[in-house]
Amino acid sequence: MTETLIKEKTGKSPAKQPGKLKRGYRRMQDFRMRNQERYHASNAVIGGLFPVFIVCMAELNQCVHISTFMRFFIHRPTVMLFDFLFAYLIYGLLVMLTNRIWAAAAVQGISYMTLSVVELFKYSTNGNHFKLVDLTVGTGFKSLKNLSSFAYIKITVPLVVYVLTAIAVLVFIFLRNPAFSKPLRERVLPALGFLTAGFLIICVPGVSHRIYNVFGVDTTASANAFSTNEKFERNGMLGFLVETTSERLGNLLEEPENYTQEHTLAAVTEKAKDAKSDVKPNVIVIMSESLADFRRVESLHLQTDAYDVYDRVAKRCHMLNVAVPTFASYTVRTEFELMFGLPVRSLQDTITPQREINVKEPSNMVSYYNSLGYETAYVHPFVETFYGRDTIYSTYGWDQMIFRDQFTVPVQEYGNGYVSDETVTDQIMALVKENDAPLYVHATTMQNHQPYDWIPDKTELEVYLEGVRTSSIALERLVNELEEAGEPTVLLFIGDHFPSMRKEGNIYDAAGINSENCDILYEQPALIWSNFELQEEALPQDTVSAFYLTPTMIEAAGLPVDPFYATVLKQRETNPVYTSIFMEPDDRNETLDLLTYDRVVGEDYTGSRPKTEE
């Protein structure tokens, strides 16, 4: 009725009233504008001090306890000052880009607290602190989903309080609405200034080192995981993130001098070695997740029968002592060395060597066995996208890649939810039986992956040792079935690294292990079994790096050794161990560095795979 009267008097329909949501938004905006005018001075203080607040909250969150944070603040005040100043560079850039103080605070606040939470969970999970390069570990939703299966994600009261405090402050800044609005022309130069300053600090070594020295940020090169963790204690989370990013950028792989086809081919000095017989045995490589012998850590005085079956199998094998390039995580480092027969050290010890590959179809162990007429298969009972294996490993030349969803045998899970080693044994035997051609298999298991907390009232070590026991039973069954099958076969079995144990009172603390005495944690026993006579003179007696193992298997099995791998094996005479933790930084093997660069980053001049046209 009212609308009709209005229309009769004015000739127009009445204006439509805004909905509740729009009215609420307008009231909130009016409220924020009043706050902007009323609290102009205090808003300037609040907006100006936000970087100091968020740095403190991020560091406090990963420290967990206020007392721990205060000790760091008191003992490392210049590092905290560096964190504040660097945070102001980021904050200033964000303000110039967004033209809003609350928006800049939101972006920085959410980013800093997210990094802090990720750091907290990552270190609790595998004993390695978070670096920006860790963002390359997995891709896709399935990788992120599966990360939670081996992460010690524990929501605690301090974590909730710190995160809610940060959120509350961000909401407060939004409602207070500190004033800032400049035309674009007035923001361009300051934005470039903040960006340039940040770039110089992170990316230019001459500037980085001076700045870090002024503020006492530790720039000591980390030779192992324990020294890296000690650096974290001295630098805190934010200083550690910035400094390790600078370290990584300053340590990028460079093209060797005189990298030409002629120079590279000249480095391949050894002649090919002919096959010792016409037999082409099956070649099986099993890299067992986190399988290690804790009896070697003498300070533990470990008494256990968990290794009895392993020892029984070892008596039927040749045992080698092997230097591996990683500890507690980054399985792909040992995996790379075994698949390429080349050292991670030559790739500047990157934590994800497979992501350094620039060659379209890199030559490696797969292409070598393919050239001999072998069927080749990669077996890994986990999500295919983790570490980008599905896309990167597909360039290696595998005839089959069998991830968890592609297993052709019934899948059984171990007690922690990972696929059991018994299932991997079944899959390997299925491949052996279904292929008439000789077979090359690389299997990376998952059964003994962390966490080791799924058996009530048992310590991490006790749970872990149960996994060792069951893995050894699966290994013995595999050896027995291979022997019964009667096909000539050589098998390599090695653990990729010692396990991560991060609960309070963890075994490494109990053993008194630190950056000075952790070498033993980078050594692994390797077993080589065969049901035919090996060329025993090819097997090393002393400790060797992991990358030598797969070329050694070629020679020991009596297969033809091409000039490339003959040259790699030749380096064993002068550098039996070419793994960084055991070496001085400047101690380099130019031949191994050159050959690795060629096959991974360069032009693959030494490649054994026929080149395809682009």
DSSP state of 220: P
User: What span, in angstroms and rounded, lies between the C-alpha atoms of 604 and 261?
Assistant: 9
Pairing of strands 439-444, 375-380: parallel
- Higher-confidence residue: 446 or 220? 446
pLDDT exceeds 90 at position 178: yes
Query: How confident is the model over 132-160, as pLDDT tens digits?
Result: 777 666 544 444 455 555 556 678 899 99
Asked whether 438 and 280 are in contact (CB, 8 A), the reply is: yes
- CA triple 189-190-196, angle to 5 deg: 90
**Nearest CA among 460, 184, 326 for reference residue 468:** 460
Examine the pLDDT at 332 and tell me if it is beyond 80. yes
In the predicted model, what is the mean pLDDT of residues 556-582?
96
* Cα distances (angstroms) measured from residue 200 to each of 35, 214, 236, 238, 254: 38, 15, 21, 17, 20
CB atoms within 10 A of CB 457: 5
Q: What is the pTM of this model?
A: 0.88
Integer Cα distance of 95 and 83 in angstroms: 18
Give the DSSP letter of residue 529: E
Overall residue count recorded for the chain in this entry? 614
Say yes or no to pLDDT of 162 above 80: yes
Q: What does the pLDDT read at residue 6? A: 47
Distance of CA 101 to the CA centre of its chain: 35
DSSP string spanning 397-428? T-SEEEEGGG-SS---B-TTSSBPHHHHHHHH
- Asked whether residue 118 carries a pLDDT value surpassing 90, the answer given is no
Share of the chain above pLDDT 90, in %: 75
Read off the pLDDT of each residue in 532-555 and give the average, rounded to a whole number: 96
Helix (H, G, I), strand (E, B) or coil at 274: coil
pLDDT score recorded for residue 1: 47
Cα separation, 384 vs 380, whole angstroms? 8
Please name the helix (run of DSSP H) or strand (run of DSSP E) that holds residue 554, with its range, or none.
Answer: helix 549-556
Mean per-residue pLDDT over the chain, rounded? 91
- Strand ranges, E, within 23-86: none
Do residues 502 and 152 lie in contact, with contact meaning Cβ atoms separated by under 8 Å?
yes
In the predicted model, is pLDDT for residue 495 greater than 90? yes
Amino acid identity of residue 31, one-letter, is F
pLDDT tens, residue by residue, 312-331: 999 999 999 999 999 988 99
In contact, 361 and 609? CB cutoff 8 Å:
yes
Query: Encoding tokens for residue 101?
Result: 């103080």
Q: What is the pLDDT of residue 504?
A: 59
Q: Determine the longest span between alpha carbons in the chain, in angstroms.
A: 110
Domains and CATH numbers, the chain: 39-250 (no CATH), 267-600 (3.40.720.10)
Identify whether the C-beta of residue 267 lies closer than 8 Å to the C-beta of residue 591. Answer: yes
Region 494-513: what's the mean pLDDT? 85
pLDDT tens-place string over residues 254-295 = 999 889 999 999 999 999 999 998 889 999 999 999 999 999
